[in-house]
Structure formats: C-alpha cells, structure tokens
C-alpha cells in the first residue's frame, strides 16, 4: 500500500491510496490526477446534492407520485425546433455495438469483434476494484495507441486487426465513490472522489488528443441518470473538461442510457441538456426493470412476475422503447437498443443455437421499431445483430429520418405493470437467490460480468434479482402454487443455495461465497434496502481496510 501526494499548483491535491502496480504510474501521473482533482473539486458538491435529491424524491409522497412528465420543463418538450448535434466522426453507423469489461483480453477481442462501436465498460460489467479501474485505463490507453497486443500465459497470441470499432467508454454512475483516490477538503479532511469523474477524467485526459488525431473523439455512455439535472451536470463537466484540455466545444459526445423510470419521463430534457455533446439515448432495459421495482417498492400492485417473464414486449417496457425511439428521432439523435442477455456457449451447441435465435428475434424487433443499432454482449453475436439491422437499414447508416408520429405514450403506459402477465413462482425465487449468490461471489472476486445458465449476468441483471426478492418478501407475495414468500422461506432457500455452491468450492471460493451471502443479506433481507448493492459491496469488500476505517469507502447510500 502506498500513499503519495500528487497534483501541481494550481490544481488541488489528490491522495493515491491504492497499490502502485507496474505501469500504474503511466495513468496516475500528477497532471492526470490534477485534472481529476479539479473536476472533483468543481463538481463534487453538485453531484452530492443531486444524489440527495434522488433520496428525497423516493421518500416524498406515495410510491410513484414523483413519476410524471414535468410541468416546469414543458417548454423544452413543446419546442419542435431544437436538435442535437449531428453524429460525430465514427458514430454515424452504430448498427451493432459490442459491450464488455476492459480487461486486456476482452479489449482485444472486442476490437476484433466486427462491431461498429465498442462500449468499454467501467460500470455494470466491471467490479470496480482498484486494479480493474487502473488496469482498464491502461488497456484503453494501449489500445488507442495500437499497442495492446499480448501473449497470454498459455501462449495464445492476441493481436488487434486492421478494422476496429469506435470506442465509447462508460464511466461509473454518479452514486459510486473511488475510495483509493481522495481529495483534501478545506478543513483538512479527505474525501473520496466520485468514481464517475475518475473513469471519465483519466480516459479523457490521456486519450482525447490521440483519438482526435485518429479522426474519432472521446465518446462516452452515461449510466443510471435519474433526471435532466444530472445530465446538465455531465454537460457542465464536459464543457469544463474541454476548456481545461483546450479541445473544441462539442468534441466530447455521450449517449445517455435511459435506464431508470424517472429518466423515462425526462428523455427530451436529457437530450436537450446534452444537445451539443449528445450522441443519442440507449434503452438500458435491465436497470430499467430494476428501477421500476425500486420506484414502486412500497406498492403491492407493482409486483412483477419472475424475472424471465419481464421482457421488452411487456406493455410497460414496449411503451418505454417506443417513446425512446420517437424522442430521439424527433431530435436527430440515435436510438440504440439494449442488451439481449442470451450468450452462446462453447460447450453447449444447443445453448448457442438458442442464443443466436433469441438475439435475432430481439434485434429484429428493435430494428423494426426504429432503433438505429443495438448492443450485444458477446463477439459471436455481432454478426447476428448486424444482419438484423441490415435487413431494415440496407445501405443506410441509420434510420434517423424515421419518425414515429403514431406513438403517443402516457404516464399510465410507462408505469402500469398490471398487464405484464406471468406469475411469481418458487422456482423464480430460487433462481433469483442462486443467480445473486453466484454473481456476487464473482463480483467480490473482481469479475463484474459472468455467464450463468447461458445468460449474461452483470450488476444490472442481478439488481433485478436482489430487489425482486426484497419486493416479493416485503409484500408477502403468494406464488403460483400458493406458497407465501416469507423471510423464513427466503432464508431456507438461501441456505440450500449456499450449501450447494459451497460443495464445489475451494477455500478462496468459500470466502467469496460468504461475502456474497453477506451482501445479499444486507441488501435484500433488510427493511431499508440500499439503492444499489454495489455501494455496500464496494465499501465492504473492494476497499482497503484502512480506508474503511477512515470512513472513505462508499457505504451503500443512494
């Protein structure tokens, strides 16, 4: 463990508390840290206020009362004149976007995937260990400079080919801190820097000039926003960052995920706030389902069926997708589809056939709705996605011209889940518990995305499982066979799942399983659910003990 003071006047000082592994100093330069510190100092308190506003909104009134199209921003929605900036270089054609973590092998494989764009993920697909945060930056730094090739421990050579996708980086959401980097406050205390500004700031600082020189630019995805004011904050960060680095206004581009229920009511306002830096909206379906459960946590009428039965054709999800395409195309912005979670399996040809067929169905549906492109989680699915969009787009790079005048989406369409159909089953409950335990075990070990039952699981999908169990338990839901979901039942299933998983586990894996169980219990089997499991899990399992003692680790707040 090292601790060094960095930063040069007039930039504020930043303390580094994480281990300085080989080459980390290439990313954690005094200048780069000074840049992040400046952003944190200028924007940290606004970020805190916006996080508090989230908590206040949940707390005020009856469940869902806060979800409505805003009156105070009606002028933005009613003004037909404004448009977002035209697509930036490399972002005209986004018919297939690969996503994934920023480990070195994944970086090379993603760059060779044949996708038009690659979303390099520090968010849902990454457990933000100090290593993953800095190593991911190093891998991107190398990739942009054409020096990411390597040979793995088995002697397999990884080399990037000639044609590579446009890179888009997804920083952590506003809610997570980076405990290994702290900023000294005026009163002499230290406080952790927002993880979002670390991921964004380090990437931009090191790579903006190189990306611009290559004819592309620094492009981002923005996760988990809950209001247009949070988008305004990002826009102000972009403006300040461009000024600090001396790059033209509007060079940075960001696609905002619409993956919370409150944000669905502010799609137009979010685009408007980001309009000079916008590259569209994405339908982040998994966090969206999670957000729906959270926003109606106290409402027994909003209980959703088993996770597998909530799909993009569920009426409330279909309404959200329709509104997103309509909103984007009215403003000249790309509408990007979400993640079909089916992944192929090398050892199971039937699972691969099923994954390809289901992905075709999902991407064809999205192309038909008017989306301009979509996400896939695995390189073997890129061609499937391309084919589905080529069938609709032909030679056109996108279908921005396609308007959806017939679409009219009301508040009720967005929040009414009564027509979802399906049922809650004991099997669904057991699956939620098992997937949570398996995934959380991987997460505390540093892996943010894993395949379980031939499905891609990441922080967003597992948040649904965790929060669904909480919801069913809180409302003592009766399952299809008449069983009532009680704490005793959930604890019994939890114990059985842990026993089964422990039977095949070595000692380190048992340690991770214990940690996973703790995270599950503390975020699901509690009356006051934390907004994200990642806050609790990060604060307890990914951060150095000394930082926890100093109170510098995020502890599961909003």
Ligand X SMILES: CC(=O)SCCNC(=O)CCNC(=O)[C@H](O)C(C)(C)COP(=O)(O)OP(=O)(O)OC[C@H]1O[C@@H](n2cnc3c(N)ncnc32)[C@H](O)[C@@H]1OP(=O)(O)O
Residues in touch with ligand X (CB under 6 A): 98-101, 105-106, 109-110, 121, 124-125, 286, 339, 343-344, 346, 377-379, 449-451, 456, 458, 460-461
How do 335-339 and 373-376 pair as beta strands? Answer: parallel
Q: Active-site residue among 47, 54, 104, 170?
A: 170
Q: Find all residues with CB under 8 Å of 203, minimum gap 6, and list them.
A: 137, 140, 169, 171, 218
Pick one of ligand X, Mg ion, ligand O=CC(=O)O, none as the site partner of residue 109 (Cβ within 5 to 8 A by kind): ligand X
- Residue of 485, 554, 553 lying closest to 525 (CA atoms): 485
Minimum CB–partner distance for residue 304 and Mg ion (Å): 17
- Separation between Cα atoms, residue 527 and residue 473, nearest integer Å: 10
Minimum CB–partner distance for residue 497 and ligand O=CC(=O)O (Å): 24
Residue matched to tokens 């809610």: 175
Interface with Mg ion, residue 124, by CB under 5 A: yes
- 285, 363, 378, 540: which one contacts ligand O=CC(=O)O (CB under 6 A)? 285
- Strand runs labelled E in 334-445: 335-339, 373-376
Report the length, in residues, of the chain.
558
- Separation between Cα atoms, residue 14 and residue 34, nearest integer Å: 7
Q: What are phi and psi of 98, to 5 degrees?
A: -85, 150
- 36, 40, 96, 257: which one contacts ligand O=CC(=O)O (CB under 6 A)? 257
For ligand O=CC(=O)O, which is the closer residue by CB, 115 or 339?
339
For Mg ion, which is the closer residue by CB, 93 or 124?
124
- Residue of 179, 59, 22 lying closest to 553 (CA atoms): 179
Pick one of Mg ion, ligand X, ligand O=CC(=O)O, none as the site partner of residue 450 (Cβ within 5 to 8 A by kind): ligand X
Token output for 467: 């929060």
Pick one of ligand O=CC(=O)O, Mg ion, ligand X, none as the site partner of residue 449 (Cβ within 5 to 8 A by kind): ligand X
Q: Is 48 a catalytic residue?
A: no
Terminal Cα distance for the chain, rounded:
29
- Separation between Cα atoms, residue 180 and residue 17, nearest integer Å: 5
Residue matched to tokens 């986004």: 94
Helix, strand, coil percentages in the chain from 3-state DSSP, rounded to 5: 50, 15, 40
Pick one of Mg ion, ligand O=CC(=O)O, ligand X, none as the site partner of residue 100 (Cβ within 5 to 8 A by kind): ligand X
Beta carbons of 447 and 391 less than 8 angstroms apart? no
Interface with ligand O=CC(=O)O, residue 286, by CB under 6 A: yes
Q: Is 458 a catalytic residue?
A: yes
- Separation between Cα atoms, residue 151 and residue 140, nearest integer Å: 17
Q: Going residue by residue from 445 to 464, which x/- string records binding to ligand O=CC(=O)O, judged by CB under 6 A?
A: ---------------x----
- Residue of 233, 113, 209, 89 lying closest to 165 (CA atoms): 113
DSSP assignment, residue 25? Answer: H
For ligand O=CC(=O)O, which is the closer residue by CB, 182 or 531?
531
Residues numbered 240 to 279 that lie near Mg ion (CB under 5 A) are 259
Q: Going residue by residue from 329 to 368, which x/- string records binding to ligand O=CC(=O)O, judged by CB under 6 A?
A: ---------xx-----------------------------
Minimum CB–partner distance for residue 258 and ligand O=CC(=O)O (Å): 10
Q: Active-site residue among 121, 177, 306, 458?
A: 458
By beta carbon distance, the residue nearest ligand X is 100
For ligand X, which is the closer residue by CB, 62 or 154?
154
Q: Going residue by residue from 155 to 184, which x/- string records binding to Mg ion, judged by CB under 5 A?
A: ------------------------------
Pick one of ligand O=CC(=O)O, Mg ion, ligand X, none as the site partner of residue 89 (Cβ within 5 to 8 A by kind): none
- 259, 268, 273, 362: which one contacts ligand O=CC(=O)O (CB under 6 A)? 259
- Separation between Cα atoms, residue 505 and residue 30, nearest integer Å: 43
For ligand O=CC(=O)O, which is the closer residue by CB, 448 or 530?
448
Number of residues that bind ligand O=CC(=O)O (CB under 6 A): 10
Interface with ligand O=CC(=O)O, residue 124, by CB under 6 A: yes
Residues numbered 459 to 518 that lie near ligand O=CC(=O)O (CB under 6 A) are 460
By beta carbon distance, the residue nearest Mg ion is 287
* CB burial readout 190-202, b (16+ within 10 A) else e: bbbbbbbbbbbbb
Minimum CB–partner distance for residue 260 and Mg ion (Å): 9
Beta carbons of 208 and 35 less than 8 angstroms apart? no
Minimum CB–partner distance for residue 343 and ligand X (Å): 5
- Separation between Cα atoms, residue 430 and residue 427, nearest integer Å: 5
Beta-bridged to residue 398, according to DSSP, are none
Minimum CB–partner distance for residue 290 and Mg ion (Å): 8
Beta carbons of 404 and 371 less than 8 angstroms apart? no
How many CA within 13 A on the CB side of residue 332?
Answer: 15
Q: Find all residues with CB under 8 Å of 166, minimum gap 6, and list them.
A: 90, 91, 94, 116, 117, 118, 216, 219
Residue matched to tokens 């990437």: 203
- 44, 194, 262, 284: which one contacts Mg ion (CB under 5 A)? 284
Which residues are designated catalytic? 170, 458
The residues of the shown chain that bind Mg ion, judged by CB under 5 A, are 124, 259, 284, 287, 460
Sites of contact with ligand O=CC(=O)O (CB under 6 A):
124, 257, 259, 284-287, 338-339, 460
């Amino acid at each position: 463990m090292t601790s060094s003071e960095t930063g040069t006047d007039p930039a504020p000082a930043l303390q580094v508390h994480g281990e300085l592994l080989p080459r980390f100093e290439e990313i954690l330069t005094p200048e780069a840290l000074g840049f992040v510190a400046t952003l944190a100092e200028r924007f940290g308190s606004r970020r805190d206020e916006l996080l508090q506003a989230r908590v206040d909104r949940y707390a005020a009134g009856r469940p869902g009362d806060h979800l409505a199209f805003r009156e105070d921003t009606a002028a933005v929605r009613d003004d037909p004149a404004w448009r977002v900036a035209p697509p930036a270089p490399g972002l005209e054609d986004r018919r297939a976007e690969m996503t994934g973590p920023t480990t070195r092998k994944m970086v090379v494989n993603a760059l060779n995937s044949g996708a038009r764009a690659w979303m390099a993920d520090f968010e849902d697909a990454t457990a933000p260990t100090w290593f993953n945060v800095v190593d991911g930056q190093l891998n991107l730094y190398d990739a942009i400079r054409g020096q990411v090739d390597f040979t793995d421990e088995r002697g397999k050579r990884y080399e990037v080919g000639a044609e590579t996708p446009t890179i888009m980086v997804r920083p952590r959401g506003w809610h997570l801190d980076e405990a290994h980097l702290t900023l000294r406050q005026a009163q002499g205390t230290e406080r952790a820097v927002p993880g979002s500004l670390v991921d964004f700031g380090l990437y931009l600082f090191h790579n903006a000039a190189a990306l611009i020189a290559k004819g592309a630019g620094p492009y981002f995805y923005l996760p988990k926003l809950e209001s247009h004011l949070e988008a305004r904050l990002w826009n102000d960060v972009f403006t300040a960052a461009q000024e600090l680095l001396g790059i033209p206004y509007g060079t940075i581009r960001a696609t905002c995920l619409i993956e919370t229920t409150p944000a669905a009511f502010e799609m137009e306002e979010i685009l408007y706030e980001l309009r000079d830096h916008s590259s569209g909206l994405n339908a982040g379906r998994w966090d969206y389902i999670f957000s729906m459960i959270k926003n109606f946590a106290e409402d027994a009428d909003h209980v959703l069926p088993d996770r597998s039965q909530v799909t993009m054709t569920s009426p409330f999800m279909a309404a959200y997708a329709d509104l997103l395409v309509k909103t984007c195309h009215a403003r000249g912005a790309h509408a990007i589809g979400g993640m079909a979670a089916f992944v192929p399996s090398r050892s199971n040809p039937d699972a691969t056939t099923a994954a390809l067929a289901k992905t075709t169905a999902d991407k064809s549906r999205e192309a038909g709705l008017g989306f301009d492109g979509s996400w896939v989680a695995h390189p073997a699915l890129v061609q499937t996605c391309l084919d589905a969009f080529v069938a609709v787009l032909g030679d056109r790079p996108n279908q921005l011209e396609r308007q959806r005048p017939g679409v009219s989406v009301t508040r009720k369409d967005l929040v009414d889940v009564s027509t979802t159909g399906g049922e809650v089953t004991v099997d669904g409950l057991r699956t939620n518990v098992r997937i949570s335990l398996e995934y959380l075990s991987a997460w505390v070990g540093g892996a943010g995305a894993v395949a379980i039952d031939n499905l891609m699981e990441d922080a967003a999908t597992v948040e649904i499982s965790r929060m669904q169990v909480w919801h069913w338990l809180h409302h003592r839901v009766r399952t299809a066979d008449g069983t009532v979901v009680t704490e005793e039942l959930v604890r019994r299933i939890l114990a059985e799942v842990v026993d089964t998983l422990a039977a095949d586990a070595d000692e380190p894996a048992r340690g991770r399983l214990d940690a996973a169980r703790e995270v599950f219990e503390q975020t699901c089997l509690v009356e006051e659910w934390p907004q994200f499991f990642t806050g609790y899990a990060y604060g307890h399992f990914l951060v150095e003990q000394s930082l926890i003692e100093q109170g510098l680790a995020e502890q599961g707040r909003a």
